[in-house]
Amino acid sequence: MKPVHSILDDSFRYVPAVATSVAETWRRFGWRPTTEDERKRRRRPTAALVVESVAAVTPIRRVAPTAPVQGSNADRQRSNA
């Protein structure tokens, strides 16, 4: 994007960063700060109750293997026992 004024143009006036307002610059281009009500509406909803009671949840349990241990793993397991 080409600048509107060249810095070599006599109409160009340097403004130090300390003297500028970012909010004012954005407002010139149509931005407006959000209100507290708008922020509240955009906020994520609070966590909803999913489970009434922990007792109502059935845990998933894996069945232990019943096959005998074979091969080199059997030797390691016997020495660890």
Read off the pLDDT of residues 6-52 as tens digits, 9 standing for 90 and up: 889 888 888 898 999 988 989 989 988 889 999 888 887 777 766 66
User: What b/e readout covers 13-34, taking b as 16+ CB neighbours within 10 angstroms?
Assistant: eeeeeeeeeeeeeeeeeeeeee
CA distance linking residue 39 with residue 34, whole number of Å: 7
Contact 5, 12 (CB under 8 A): yes
Output 31 or 61, whichever has higher pLDDT.
31
